[in-house]
């Protein structure tokens, strides 16, 4: 079932442990690009495995993690961060010598701490985090283009074979990603502000709206185009994945939360005191960051993120 | 310069005071739909007036508010909330008897308080708020489709002529909006949670990211696809407009902020204590609201709000 390729595949056999948004997107992208000889995958539930088999995107769907990693040159754990330690323990004895073991978790310090002790000498452990996603999850949610122009951060431990790192870098680059290398600790700080705190804030405000006595849920939904709806997208993300992220990156998240709370108090005080100048100054500064994000291609320059607009003519009489 | 229409226009002459995103979108929509005989507009700066004249979207651009409202059947103030009182005082003596006076402000209580005392008997004062917008501002930012399938809230004072309300409702409906009527106070509570608080939170977190010592601005921009970029869109909105909103809707915003802060403390405590169950439960509840917003057409069901994705094939070797 391998797609026709003109160049030699980067890996003969890749094992994807987990087939959600990220695992499914890796499989689709690798297939489209002809990056691997064979893709073997597994998932925890029988239902997901059946659906993956039906989708026909991989060469084999197997029942256990141990079977999946057999003879694989690249093993990628595409599962919630909290499950990485136990899975590493489970597969450790079955890894092929010389294989690259990686993951896609949104936290790196905890993943290194949980996985590294189990892994045998002779395999290359290179944690990775593709900074890409959508609010959807499950085997049907992936798409081959997910990683294009997004960053993938690798956090190879000191002493990692540069050859292995280069090989994993080439794999992610071929999926369309730009690759950056940093330490696990720095990764966790950067992601705490660019991803974890935004998700926590979004989850909070959507919950707040849900519980208000004075405003009905249907009013919140109806008038959400005033700004609220932008928060609901990321507050619809996978609950298991995000529970694990906050538990695993506790320290960095609490630190960012502290700074955010101070800043919110400052703006709250400006509102209470009617200090229009302080508000105006703050609101002017924040436009520059948006500009940077659009200029570097990390978001669409079209208004409303390029959301589709209806056609007025169709509604005319 | 009036567009050819098959039905009689709803208003012979409309005056738009201000030609930013909202004023410009009303002009474009009214033109496309042939809703008005003539559109007269003005703006505070000569530069904007010159640009509006150049765009050719209105029949006349005049230098003063007083000239603009002369003989107009419908006058709409499309300016920041804080400017509505002074402009009402300025135009009051020049309004045509029987004219409808409206606005588009995101706060209604303060607008009523500031405008009503100036307006003469014999005109119909019907405040309005189209709950629609993008992060862009200025005379070029408007588009005819902005109001389609969005809500426009009218807050006519007790005793308003139902005929006048019906006429303004028909105008907004013809621009594509769904119209709802409520009291100014309830409007201000509903918008505090669906629009004002989200903007304040977005402005705060973007500011927080901007000031961090441990993470560079270029890292924040690079890795923004992890969630942060969703916040930056609304934090790029017009600073003058938003300063005025927070000053004018202080009480309701402070009330919602109080509830939000309590909820954030609860989630912070769950993280600190490692209470995964509390986090998981919260994150599961918030998915339902997103579903409601998508089902009622207030947002796109496509992942990432339907942001355009690059094509993998183009990058392949």
Whether residue A185 has pLDDT greater than 80:
yes
Whether residue A3 has pLDDT greater than 60:
no
H or E element at residue B76 = strand B74-77
Which residue shows structure tokens 């579903």?
A: B291
Best to test chain B binding among A141, A222, A255, A277 (most B CBs inside 10 Å): A222
| CA A237, A243, A248, A250 torsion-angle sign | positive
Are A145 and B217 in contact (CB < 8 Å)? no
What does the CA dihedral A186, A187, A193, A199 come to, rounded to 10 degrees? -150
A105 contacts in B (CB within 8 Å)?
none
Closest CA to B175 of B141, B151, B139: B151
Whether residue A112 has pLDDT greater than 60:
yes
Predicted local distance difference test score (pLDDT) of residue A8: 81
Are A298 and B256 in contact (CB < 8 Å)? no
More confident residue, A314 or A313: A313
N- to C-terminal Cα distance for chain A? 54
* Complete edge-to-edge strand list for the sheet that includes strand A151-154: A128-130, A151-154, A178-181
Residues 289-308 of B with CB under 8 A from A: 289-293, 296, 298-300, 303-308
pLDDT level of residue A313 (50, 70, 90 thresholds)? low
* Per-residue pLDDT reduced to its tens digit, B80-111: 999 999 999 999 999 999 999 999 999 999 99
Are B205 and A260 in contact (CB < 8 Å)? yes
The separation between CA B25 and the C-alpha centre of its own chain, rounded to angstroms, equals 11
Are B256 and A208 in contact (CB < 8 Å)? yes
The shortest CB-CB distance from A226 to any of B191, B209, B310 is to: B191
ipTM of this model? 0.92
Predicted local distance difference test score (pLDDT) of residue B313: 56
Whether residue A232 has pLDDT greater than 90:
yes
* Per-residue pLDDT reduced to its tens digit, B185-219: 999 999 999 999 999 999 999 999 998 988 999 99
User: What is each CA distance from B159 to B68, B156, B165, B222, in whole angstroms?
Assistant: 27, 8, 11, 55
In tens digits, chain B (317 residues) has pLDDT values of 444 445 689 999 999 999 999 999 999 999 999 999 999 999 999 999 999 999 999 999 999 999 999 999 999 999 999 999 999 999 999 999 999 999 999 999 999 999 999 999 999 999 999 999 999 999 999 999 999 999 999 999 999 999 999 999 999 999 999 999 999 999 999 999 999 999 999 999 999 999 898 899 999 999 999 999 999 999 999 999 999 999 999 999 999 999 999 999 999 999 999 999 999 999 999 988 999 999 999 999 998 988 887 776 544 43
Predicted local distance difference test score (pLDDT) of residue A1: 42
**Pair B219, B210: CB distance under 8 Å:** no
The shortest CB-CB distance from B293 to any of A133, A221, A306 is to: A221
Q: Two tokens at B228? A: 């942060």
Q: Two tokens at B302? A: 């496509």
Domains delineated in chain B: 11-182 (3.40.50.720), 187-298 (1.10.3660.10)
Which residue shows structure tokens 């007025």?
A: A312
Predicted local distance difference test score (pLDDT) of residue B312: 64
Whether residue A106 has pLDDT greater than 70:
yes
The Cβ-side half-sphere exposure at B227, using a 13 Å CA radius, reads 27
Best to test chain B binding among A227, A253, A295 (most B CBs inside 10 Å): A227
A210 contacts in B (CB within 8 Å)?
285-286, 288-289
Minimal CA separation from A121 to chain B, in Å? 32
What does the CA dihedral A293, A299, A304, A307 come to, rounded to 10 degrees? 180
Query: Is B2 an 8 Å CB contact of chain A?
Result: no
* Per-residue pLDDT reduced to its tens digit, A155-176: 999 999 999 999 999 999 999 9
Are B311 and A145 in contact (CB < 8 Å)? yes
The shortest CB-CB distance from A198 to any of B205, B210, B276 is to: B205
The Cβ-side half-sphere exposure at A84, using a 13 Å CA radius, reads 33
Q: Two tokens at A69? A: 């990693």
Closest CA to A259 of B268, B82, B165: B268
Residues 45-74 of B with CB under 8 A from A: none
Q: Two tokens at A267? A: 């703006």
A256 contacts in B (CB within 8 Å)?
208, 212
Are B232 and A202 in contact (CB < 8 Å)? no
| Reported pTM | 0.92
**Average of pLDDT values for A252-274?**
97
Are A148 and B312 in contact (CB < 8 Å)? yes
Are B289 and A232 in contact (CB < 8 Å)? yes
Are B148 and A310 in contact (CB < 8 Å)? yes
Are B226 and A195 in contact (CB < 8 Å)? yes
Are B286 and A235 in contact (CB < 8 Å)? yes
Residue B271 to residue B277: CA distance in whole angstroms: 10
SS in 3 state form for A224-241? HHHCCHHHHHHCCCCHHH
Are B243 and A279 in contact (CB < 8 Å)? yes
SS in 3 state form for chain A? CCCCCCCCCCEEEEEEECCCHHHHHHHHHHHHHCCEEEEEEECCCHHHHHHHHHHCCCCEECCCHHHHHCCCCEEEECCCHHHHHHHHHHHHHHCCCCCEEEECCCCCHHHHHHHHHHCCCCCEECCEEECCCCCCCCCCCCCCCCCCCCEEEECCCCCCCHHHHHHHHHHHHHCCCEEEECCHHHHHHHHHHHHHHHHHHHHHHHHHHHHCCCCCHHHHHHCHHHCCHHHHHHCCCCHHHHHHHHHHCHHHHHHHHHHHHHHHHHHHHHHHHCCHHHHHHHHHHHHHHHHHHHHCCCCCCCHHHHCCCCCHHHHCC
User: What is each CA distance from B108 to A50, B19, B182, B189, B191, in whole angstroms?
Assistant: 55, 20, 10, 10, 10
Residues 89-148 of A with CB under 8 A from B: 106, 131-136, 141, 143-146, 148
Whether residue A5 has pLDDT greater than 50:
no
**Pair A29, B312: CB distance under 8 Å:** yes
């Amino acid at each position: 079932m391998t797609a026709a390729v003109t160049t030699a595949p980067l890996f003969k056999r890749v094992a994807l442990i987990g087939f959600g948004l990220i695992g499914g997107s890796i499989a689709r992208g690798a297939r489209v690009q002809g990056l691997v000889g064979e893709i073997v995958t597994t998932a925890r539930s029988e239902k997901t495995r059946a659906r993956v088999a039906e989708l026909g995107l991989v060469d084999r769907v197997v029942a256990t993690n141990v079977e999946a990693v057999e003879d694989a040159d690249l093993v990628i754990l595409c599962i919630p961060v909290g499950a990485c330690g136990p899975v590493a323990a489970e597969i450790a004895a079955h890894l092929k010598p010389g294989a690259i073991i990686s993951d896609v978790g949104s936290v790196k310090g905890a993943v290194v701490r949980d996985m590294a002790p189990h892994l045998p000498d002779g395999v290359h452990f290179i944690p990775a985090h593709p900074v890409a996603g959508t609010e959807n999850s499950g085997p049907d949610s992936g798409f081959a283009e997910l990683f294009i122009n997004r960053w993938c951060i690798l956090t190879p431990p000191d002493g990692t074979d540069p050859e292995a790192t280069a090989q994993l870098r080439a794999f992610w680059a071929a999926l369309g990603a730009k690759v950056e290398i940093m330490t696990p600790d720095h990764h966790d700080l950067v992601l705490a502000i660019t991803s974890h705190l935004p998700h926590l804030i979004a989850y909070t405000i959507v919950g707040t709206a849900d519980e208000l006595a004075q405003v009905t849920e249907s009013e919140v939904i109806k008038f959400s185009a005033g700004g609220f709806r932008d928060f609901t997208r990321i507050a619809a993300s996978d609950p298991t994945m995000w529970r694990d992220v906050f538990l695993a990156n506790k320290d960095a998240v609490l630190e960012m939360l502290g700074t955010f709370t101070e800043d919110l108090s400052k703006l709250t005080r400006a509102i209470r005191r009617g200090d229009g100048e302080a508000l105006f100054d703050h609101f002017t500064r924040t436009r520059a960051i948006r500009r940077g994000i659009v200029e570097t291609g990390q978001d669409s320059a079209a208004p409303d993120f390029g959301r589709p607009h209806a056609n007025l003519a169709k509604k005319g009489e």
